Amino acid sequence: MVAGMRTAIALLVVGCSAPVTAPAPAAGPRPVEAPAPAAQPPPPPPPPVHARPSYPHARTGDVTDTFHGTAVADPYRWLEDMGSPEVGQWVRDENALTDSYLGALPGREALQRRIAELVSYEAFRAPTRRGPRYFWVHGDGKHNQPTVWTAAALDAAPSLVLDPNAISTDGSLAFAGLSIGHSGKRLAYGLSIGGGDWQTWRLRDVATTRDLPDELAHIKYYRPELTRDATGVYYSRFPPPPPGKELTETDHDCKIYFHKVGTPAGRDTVVYERPDHPTWQFEPIVTRDDRYLVIITGDGQVGDRGVELVSYLDLQRPGSKPVALIDQYDAEYRFLGNDGPVFYFVTTLGAANKRVIAIDIRRPARERWQEVIAEGPNAIQGASLVGHQLIITTLQDAHHAVAAYDLHGKKLRDVELPGIGSAPGFGGGPDDKETFYTFAGFTMPGAVYRYDLATGTSTPWKSPQVAFDPSSFETTQVFFPGKDGTKVPMFITAKKGLPHDGGNPTILTAYGFGGISSTPRFDAARVAWLERGGVYALVNIRGGGEYGEAWHLAARREHRQVAYDDFLAAGDWLVANKITSPPHLGATGASGGGMLVAGALMQRPDLFGAVLPHAGVHDLLRFQLFGQGAGWQGDLGTIENPAEFAALRATSPLHNVRAGTHYPAVLLTTADHDVRVAPLHSYKLAAALQAAQAGAAPILLRVETASGHGGGTTRTQAIDQQSERYAFFAAQLGLKLE
């Protein structure tokens, strides 16, 4: 639900300056006993109780659906008509209530100033070499959007290629992506209104830094690919949505087009389509030798279901048609690159922890496929083919380990990382002599390293300086038993010397969906929470991919309740070990994680003092009808199957709201340009919770403007949104901000 279920941003993870327990056995994590808490002073009193808000009126209708003989009421169906004047007024009233409530929270302005200070640092993304030049994205910590730079050498004076701040001075057009031609002569860049998924891409000449007249519209998810001579572009496009249906129109009839630079987009030719399968989508990849266009096909967004088809087009044979290489949805196939006619893939075929295979397209029969790197005890999370080497990233108890192999599968060396954390990157071309990666942890900002492929040496290239002392914090990793006894890992980050008195305001988060693994990630705004005494806990529940496909499948479809059981067990562990207590325990998650924490709230409202679901999928009986939702049926299941319907009904946040319940404080957040998860999910759940609330704790809805699925795309928006959310948790969980 975040940039594709297999590749989208997973939520949060481990600090690098802190002690972490010894590795668990290959079969899965082992338990680590929590240290016996020393005698502590009595915990602070619970947070103050606020007066019950007066909620905007939300009428109820009499809509009822019947599934497999079960009647299910849907009284807030009218909120699905997000363009209607009635819904628009209700949203404005909800935002006004939220403004009034959150605007009065003590310490919010001081928190916002501190977050602004923390996020005001220079950040660099790993550079890439194209032709004779390096390119990279840079954020100066001052402007709303990052910029793109180029240089002939890493130590040469760089020049500015693209400044989105000059294109959109107010940030309303968000920088949505970058694609650089292999020659380095031209690049393509995407812009989206308010950070939504619908994107328009433009072409720019690198030497002159001027845009060409070409414009490619109605693009989602998949970046365009330029030919080596930069005279053509292959891109994946959807039909334009009907006016007013931009947020709800389902993804359909994706096609791959070829655009000849300098010609009108209306003349672009269709390279690949499957009108017999309107839900299929296509990701185009031009190989670095410019010989092949590889087409990865998914039913729904590529990666969402974890199974793909693969075709290719020989670009040196004019008039040729795409050739099917893998023609059945039997496993995940992630294309790594090619060595001439030999294609390399990471796959789950016969390997729950994944393996690397090679397919010679001259002899493509399955019995001729070659295993290059066998399945190992740890799951493969990332892989790349660069400099005639395979760089493989595996997961060791939810943090990264990296190793280099030759193209025959011989291990060359382990890549020595700076600590325990996450190391994305290692991209490049087959003839490169170097590659780059970023290393980060909970309290370690992302530093960029150059990796020498011949010597295996890592050298820092750019190290950000953030205004805080990371040595004052520590991260520990614990393993606790889930409801069924399975050991589940959790990272806990806090100030050193954390008291075990049950009074620590704590935010618990997880994702646990679509096989996505949550690994270490730095968030500067989170430091403001930690340095004031707050605790941050990430639990690696089942449904993710931290221990391979078996970990993912354990909480899929009719087994979805397992993810909720793991998350609730994490909360119970934090309480039992006096890290916190229910009045001081908060829960948050985004997208699939938003669905998770909202569902956990319905099952255990007594466990939490505050819950913040962001962009969550909350109506699990109708999610498939909107936007990208149909693609999630691979993980969530379908209402057409009786057993899966029963699981969806039992875990759907919207359908498990109970009138007369004392719910803790809830802040539901969504965005007006979220095409991925339609805002209507949050609308309906907010209305239902407000009507059902028997207590005084607030149930608030924030509909963020000019924002997409991931929240605000500009620096200003991010500061506002983060300070608002942390101020909400501070007020509800008892953290003093001033």
pLDDT score at 716: 86
Confidence of residue 30 (pLDDT cuts 50, 70, 90): very low
Q: What is the DSSP letter of 433?
A: S
Please state, in angstroms and rounded to a whole number, the distance separating the CA atoms of residues 573 and 363.
54
The reply to whether 234 falls in a domain is yes
From 652, 655, 709, 723, active-site residue: 709
The reply to whether 11 falls in a domain is no
The reply to whether 536 falls in a domain is yes
Instruction: Tell whether 512 and 601 lie within a shared domain.
Output: yes
Q: What residues contact residue 243 under an 8 Å CB cut-off, 6+ apart?
A: none
pLDDT score at 715: 83
Predicted confidence (pLDDT) at residue 31 exceeds the cutoff of 50: no
Instruction: Tell whether 435 and 473 lie within a shared domain.
Output: no
**Which is more confident, 107 or 19?**
107
Predicted confidence (pLDDT) at residue 655 exceeds the cutoff of 80: yes
> Average pLDDT, whole number, for the chain?
91
Predicted confidence (pLDDT) at residue 27 exceeds the cutoff of 90: no
Confidence of residue 44 (pLDDT cuts 50, 70, 90): low
Q: How far is CA 386 from CA 228, 451, 545, 572, in A?
A: 18, 11, 25, 45
Instruction: Tell whether 248 and 173 lie within a shared domain.
Output: yes
Q: What residues contact residue 63 under an 8 Å CB cut-off, 6+ apart?
A: 73, 74, 75, 77
Tell me which of 322, 341, 375 is where a domain ends.
Answer: 375
Is the distance from CB of 28 to CB of 485 less than 8 angstroms?
Answer: no
Q: Indicate the burial class of 627 (C-beta count within 10 angstroms; 0-12, 13-18, 19 or more).
A: buried
Instruction: Tell whether 302 and 159 lie within a shared domain.
Output: no
Q: Which amino acid is at 499?
A: P
Predicted confidence (pLDDT) at residue 19 exceeds the cutoff of 80: no
**Which is more confident, 569 or 704?**
569
Predicted confidence (pLDDT) at residue 437 exceeds the cutoff of 70: yes
Tens digit of each residue's pLDDT (9 = 90 or more) over 253-274: 999 999 999 999 999 999 999 9
pLDDT score at 9: 27
Mean pLDDT within 428-437: 94
Confidence of residue 243 (pLDDT cuts 50, 70, 90): confident
Please state, in angstroms and rounded to a whole number, the distance separating the CA atoms of residues 545 and 563.
12
From 591, 682, 707, 723, active-site residue: 591
Predicted confidence (pLDDT) at residue 43 exceeds the cutoff of 60: no
Tens digit of each residue's pLDDT (9 = 90 or more) over 571-605: 999 999 999 999 999 999 999 999 999 999 999 99
Is the distance from CB of 105 to CB of 727 less than 8 angstroms?
Answer: yes
Is the distance from CB of 277 to CB of 214 less than 8 angstroms?
Answer: no
**Tally: H helices and E strands in the chain:** 11, 38
**Cα angle 234-240-241, degrees, rounded to a multiple of 5:** 145
Instruction: Tell whether 409 and 541 lie within a shared domain.
Output: no
Tell me which of 350, 375, 400 is where a domain ends.
Answer: 375
Token pair in block for residue 179: 């694609």
Predicted confidence (pLDDT) at residue 17 exceeds the cutoff of 50: no
Please state, in angstroms and rounded to a whole number, the distance separating the CA atoms of residues 627 and 251.
6
pLDDT score at 197: 85
Compute the half-sphere exposure of residue 91: CA atoms within 13 Å on the CB side of its CA: 25
Instruction: Tell whether 189 and 274 lie within a shared domain.
Output: yes
Instruction: Tell whether 321 and 271 lie within a shared domain.
Output: no
Please state, in angstroms and rounded to a whole number, the distance separating the CA atoms of residues 396 and 529.
28
pLDDT score at 319: 87
In this structure, how many other beta carbons lie within 10 angstroms of the beta carbon of residue 532?
A: 19
Please state, in angstroms and rounded to a whole number, the distance separating the CA atoms of residues 515 and 303.
10
Confidence of residue 358 (pLDDT cuts 50, 70, 90): very high
SS (H, E, C) 305-352: CCCCEEEEEECCCCCCCCEEEECCCCCCEEEEEEECCEEEEEECCCCC
Please state, in angstroms and rounded to a whole number, the distance separating the CA atoms of residues 519 and 510.
11
Q: What residues contact residue 2 under an 8 Å CB cut-off, 6+ apart?
A: 8, 9, 10, 516, 590, 591, 592, 676, 709, 710
500: annotated active-site residue: no
Confidence of residue 674 (pLDDT cuts 50, 70, 90): confident
Q: State the virtual CA torsion across 440, 12, 488, 651 in degrees, nearest 10.
A: -160
Q: Indicate the burial class of 551 (C-beta count within 10 angstroms; 0-12, 13-18, 19 or more).
A: buried
Q: Which amino acid is at 483?
A: K
344 bridge partner residues:
337, 358
Instruction: Tell whether 642 and 722 lie within a shared domain.
Output: yes
Overall domain count for the chain: 4
pLDDT score at 46: 54
SS (H, E, C) 694-720: CCCCCEEEEEECCCECCECCCHHHHHH
CATH number for the domain harbouring residue 578: 3.40.50.1820
Closest CA to 584 of 391, 423, 729: 729
Is the distance from CB of 697 to CB of 663 less than 8 angstroms?
Answer: yes
Token pair in block for residue 29: 């994590």
Mean pLDDT within 526-541: 98
The reply to whether 29 falls in a domain is no
Q: What residues contact residue 97 under an 8 Å CB cut-off, 6+ apart?
A: 53, 54, 55, 56, 700, 701
Closest CA to 411 of 373, 355, 369: 373
Tens digit of each residue's pLDDT (9 = 90 or more) over 468-477: 999 999 999 9
Instruction: Tell whether 175 and 261 lie within a shared domain.
Output: yes
Instruction: Tell whether 686 and 575 lie within a shared domain.
Output: yes
CATH number for the domain harbouring residue 223: 2.130.10.120
Helix (H, G, I), strand (E, B) or coil at 85: helix
Residue ranges making up the domain that contains 660? 64-117+468-733
Q: How far is CA 106 from CA 111, 129, 372, in A?
A: 10, 49, 59
Q: Parallel, antiparallel, or unpaired for β 610-614 and 665-671?
A: parallel
pTM over 0.85: yes
Q: What is the DSSP letter of 80?
A: G
Predicted confidence (pLDDT) at residue 458 exceeds the cutoff of 70: yes
Please state, in angstroms and rounded to a whole number, the distance separating the CA atoms of residues 149 and 81.
43
Predicted confidence (pLDDT) at residue 387 exceeds the cutoff of 90: yes
591: annotated active-site residue: yes
Q: Which amino acid is at 384?
A: S
Sign of CA dihedral 138, 140, 141, 145: negative
Closest CA to 630 of 367, 249, 226: 249
The reply to whether 522 falls in a domain is yes
Q: What residues contact residue 367 under an 8 Å CB cut-off, 6+ apart?
A: none
Instruction: Tell whether 473 and 461 lie within a shared domain.
Output: no
pLDDT score at 628: 85
Tens digit of each residue's pLDDT (9 = 90 or more) over 602-622: 999 999 999 999 999 999 999
The reply to whether 18 falls in a domain is no
Confidence of residue 228 (pLDDT cuts 50, 70, 90): confident
Please state, in angstroms and rounded to a whole number, the distance separating the CA atoms of residues 592 and 563.
11
Q: How far is CA 728 from CA 174, 251, 586, 592, 640, in A?
A: 27, 35, 10, 21, 39
Confidence of residue 112 (pLDDT cuts 50, 70, 90): very high
Compute the half-sphere exposure of residue 451: CA atoms within 13 Å on the CB side of its CA: 30
Hunting for tokens 């830094």 — which residue is that? 209
Token pair in block for residue 201: 């891409």
Instruction: Tell whether 387 and 516 lie within a shared domain.
Output: no
Helix (H, G, I), strand (E, B) or coil at 476: strand
Helix (H, G, I), strand (E, B) or coil at 671: strand
Is the distance from CB of 411 to CB of 390 less than 8 angstroms?
Answer: no
Closest CA to 74 of 531, 652, 523, 575: 652
Tell me which of 375, 391, 421 is where a domain ends.
Answer: 375
In this structure, how many other beta carbons lie within 10 angstroms of the beta carbon of residue 638?
A: 14
Predicted confidence (pLDDT) at residue 11 exceeds the cutoff of 50: no
The alpha carbon of 230 is separated from its chain's Cα centroid by a whole number of angstroms, namely: 31
The reply to whether 28 falls in a domain is no
User: Measured over all CA atoms, what is the biggest interatomic distance in the chain, rounded to whole angstroms?
Assistant: 78
The reply to whether 94 falls in a domain is yes
